Structure 1
Amino acid sequence: MAEDWQSGGFGLYVHWPFCQAKCPYCDFNSHVAQEIDHAGWRDAYLQEIASYAKLVPDRVLGSIFFGGGTPSLMEPDTVAAVIEATRSAWPVANDLEITLEANPTSVEAGRFAAYAAAGVSRVSLGVQALNDDDLRRLGRLHSAAEAMQAYEIARKFFDRTSFDLIYARQDQTLDAWQAELRRALDLAVDHLSLYQLTIEGGTAFGERYAAGRLRGLPEEDLAADMYLATQEICGAAGLESYEVSNHAKPGAESRHNMVYWRYGDYVGIGPGAHGRLTIGGQRHATEAWRAPGTWRDAVTKGTGESLRAPLSRSEQAVEHLLMGLRLTEGIDMARHEALAGAPLDAGRVRHLEDIGMVEVAGTRLRVTGAGRPVLNAVLRDLLT
């Protein structure tokens, strides 16, 4: 009998925790280090892969994702060793997608050639802005010209090249964002991740905002207009929104991230990495120790996990809904019912359908274009 995770697939996430500098908006588990023991980190990753392979053997792996931090600071030999160990640990899909995140400051042709030779097939560049003033405000170490150079280098070596942009930045106008987005699309990209700037607690931006020193953030209506313009411009260029913040030409979607959104299983290794693993028919949430040194020490003693907790069926149903409704394709309500033990409230679904927030086709439920800007409110209504 098929287990629920098989509806979403199986992937591996590898977290590299180091960066050249900490961006003021970033709340990821990233650290600046003067010296890195690359051989020691490689050994720790390989040990974790071997441990998880014993725990969940014989699964077909569909994706590997090197995230961070700045994974393009990893030695290519480390990336190659992780990929080789993963291929030995699990059978892999014929179309295995291997993604590596990169910052334009850490790009040079030789390194990218080595990553491609190791098996990396997709690179995601953290461009974030296409003008130098905003890049400085965002704490980025690269210029717009360097970002474009990195993109051109990446296109020579990888089947898929994506990049990220942040909008609703300080003092940004709607016209400026539209022009910037059209410039990005002119580069013949087939995938863009487009995020509205959010101010998170525990970040430099969060501290400035709390102190009233973060000026020029757009009003809510302007940010909403930027979101709508993003959908229109990308759609006209053939990069439809397949997820709230991600746009792609057909077939160019991020396969690894689809594992998350379709609520599959994934192994998470490296400091602070999260995972979802079905073991003996029971899905578990896993977390790794966040501090790099603590994680490596824990791995040498047997496991880098700080937590492995079973998830109830109702918790899984909530996670499935939260992740799946981010996708344009939506969710299978029959799958949700199987997880929850009860169907979604028909009255609430009908109300949301009547006001144009969701659509129902057979057993599938999806959020409409009108509902996506208020997705959190839609989710609250369905989960209340």
Structure 2
Amino acid sequence: MGRQADEDWRAGGFGVYVHWPFCAAKCPYCDFNSHVRAGVDQGRWRRALAREIAAAAAETPGRKVASVFFGGGTPSLMAPETVAAVLEAIAAGWGLEQGAEVTLEANPTSVEAGRFRGYAAAGVNRLSLGVQALRDADLRALGRLHDVAAARAAFETARAIFPRISFDLIYARQGQDVAAWRAELAEAMAMAADHLSLYQLTIEPGTAFGALAARGRLRGLPDEGLAADLYLATQEACAAAGMAAYEVSNHARPGAEGRHNLVYWRYGDYVGVGPGAHGRVSVGGRRWATEGPRGPEEWLVAAEGGGATRREAVAPAEQAVEMAMMGMRLGEGVEMARYARLAGRGFDAGAVAELEELGLVTVGDGRIRATEAGRPVLNAVLKRLFDQ
């Protein structure tokens, strides 16, 4: 199994995720590992991040990094010098592939042209902007600190500096209907981003919205039927505009797909650095699930003390399940032979035939793919595939 495990990641590539956990405010729908702090010692943080990167690189020599993603939190609250130091540590530890994608997430409220030019000079070549809505009332309801005018201004500032731009929108919001969402989508696509991440609002336990919903005080959310209609409207509008879904929630013009997220969805290796950051890394004939402590201060002390990353071996059969769960989100689907190598057996032929007959999957070129009808019920499709 050893060499096979060490080499399987090459089917998906190799990336680095860097988590910056700090935000100016906590959004009521957010269940990410984000924290509000009055002050951050960026010099101390950049040294700790560089130390963790060097330790990870020492375990995985001979690789080149295809993509780097600064997520959060709000990475655009990082000083450009911190971003530069992290990228220098990655380059020193592994080296970056020619044309590597380097993405940084930003909120419109943290946009400064000078800061953005600093990020570009450090090596960032793709910006992901957290717009979330193009309606001021909805931005207020989502707890966002910017308005639509600020979002548009931030986008224009970024477009003048970065060669590639993506932005996020949330739909299935309170009081939203299909016609209003179609109009908002048309405005978004007219802004000429090359990539859109379009997410249905989900109410998660432990969030402010979750607490309101539990008390019956979060009204106006779409029912299941309207949510499905909003999803279908999203797919139709984006496809008509030349931005078809290459993944369930992500749309891009041809060639503009987010390469870092493709590392995840194709089940490559990725190093996670920072508080709560997850990773999957193949070392010594095994694939390891890695995770850092969630608390920023806890992570910082651990990193300074010689290592903040915890690890647990992922059994081959579990790898197969993870790979299929991620890959079936993609339009390209999953290589069936790869699944069989990891699982020790292929998908059940009867289950595949049943799902094909229902029009939920297609099989061809050695791959299994979810159809347009299968994507909205992907969890049920996967349950059937794994139910052997």
Question: TM-score under structure 2 normalisation?
Answer: 0.98
Q: Aligned partners of 2:379, 2:210: CA distance in 1, in Å? A: 21
Deviation of 1:357 (Å): 0.1
SS in 1 for 2:317: helix
Unaligned 5+ segments in structure 2 are none
Q: What count of residue pairs does the alignment treat as equivalent? A: 383
Structure 2 match to 1:253: 257
Deviation of 1:62 (Å): 0.1
SS in 2 for 1:314: helix
SS in 2 for 1:140: coil
- Which of residues 152, 155, 163 in structure 1 aligns to 2:167? 163
- Which of residues 281, 286, 302 in structure 1 aligns to 2:306? 302
Structure 1 match to 2:150: 146
Letter in 2 for 1:374: V
Q: Aligned partners of 2:245, 2:177: CA distance in 1, in Å? A: 22
Q: Deviations over 1:134-176 (max 9, x none)?
A: 0000000000000000000000111100000000000111111
Determine if the alignment matches structure 1 residue 41 to structure 2 residue 45: yes
Letter in 2 for 1:327: L
Structure 2 match to 1:236: 240
- Which of residues 277, 284, 288 in structure 2 aligns to 1:280? 284
Deviation of 1:84 (Å): 1.1
SS in 2 for 1:198: coil
- Which of residues 100, 114, 117 in structure 2 aligns to 1:113? 117
Structure 1 match to 2:101: 97
- Which of residues 349, 370, 375 in structure 2 aligns to 1:372? 375
Deviation of 1:348 (Å): 0.2
Q: Aligned partners of 2:233, 2:269: CA distance in 1, in Å? A: 34
Q: Aligned partners of 1:72, 1:188: CA distance in 2, in Å? A: 22
Deviation of 1:362 (Å): 2.9
CA-based RMSD of the aligned residues comes to: 0.7
- Which of residues 11, 14, 17 in structure 1 aligns to 2:15? 11
Determine if the alignment matches structure 1 residue 362 to structure 2 residue 378: no
- Which of residues 313, 325, 328 in structure 1 aligns to 2:328? 325
Q: Deviations over 1:296-340 (max 9, x none)?
A: 1101111111x2001111000000011000000001000000000
Counting only pairs closer than 5 Å after superposition, residues 6-85 of structure 1 correspond to structure 2 as: 6-85=10-89
Structure 1 runs of 4+ off > 3 angstroms? none
Deviation of 1:25 (Å): 0.3
Q: Aligned partners of 2:365, 2:106: CA distance in 1, in Å? A: 41
Q: Deviations over 1:65-116 (max 9, x none)?
A: 0000000000000001111111111132111000000000000110111100
Letter in 1 for 2:219: R
Structure 1 match to 2:197: 193
Unaligned 5+ segments in structure 1 are none
Determine if the alignment matches structure 1 residue 218 to structure 2 residue 227: no
Q: Aligned partners of 1:234, 1:322: CA distance in 2, in Å? A: 24
Q: Aligned partners of 2:338, 2:95: CA distance in 1, in Å? A: 26
SS in 1 for 2:346: coil
Counting only pairs closer than 5 Å after superposition, residues 167-182 of structure 1 correspond to structure 2 as: 167-182=171-186
Deviation of 1:58 (Å): 1.3
Deviation of 1:263 (Å): 0.1
SS in 1 for 2:68: strand
SS in 2 for 1:276: strand
Deviation of 1:128 (Å): 0.2
Structure 2 match to 1:313: 316
Q: Deviations over 1:355-380 (max 9, x none)?
A: 10000003100000010011111111
Percent of paired sites with the same residue: 63
